[in-house]
Amino acid sequence: MEIIANYGNVLIIMAIVFGVFMAWGIGANDVANAMGTSVGSGAVTIKQAIIIAVIFEFAGAILAGG
């Protein structure tokens, strides 16, 4: 317990950094799966796909996040 008392803030910051990194990686993988077909077929441009992904990934995280 002494380690937690001495390094508690560092552990919290490390957990946040790792959490953001994992969320970024998972989100990038999901967006590639969701938008790859649309961009590949020419239905939307890459810029449009990025805008759509930003809006709906953010909305999903806020509305359905735990």
Please check whether residue 36 is in contact with residue 53, taking contact to mean a CB–CB distance below 8 angstroms: no
Q: Residue 52 sits in which domain range?
A: 2-64
**Is the per-residue pLDDT at 26 higher than 90?**
no
Per the listing, tokens 């008392």 go with 5
**Is the per-residue pLDDT at 1 higher than 80?**
no
Q: Which amino acid, residue 29?
A: N
Q: What percent of the chain has pLDDT over 70?
A: 98
Count structural domains, the chain. 1
Average pLDDT (44-58) is 91
Average pLDDT (23-43) is 88
DSSP 1-66: -HHHHHHHHHHHHHHHHHHHHHHHHHHHHHHHHHHHHHHHHTSS-HHHHHHHHHHHHHHHHHHH--
pTM for this predicted structure = 0.60
Average pLDDT (4-23) is 90
Please check whether residue 42 is in contact with residue 34, taking contact to mean a CB–CB distance below 8 angstroms: no
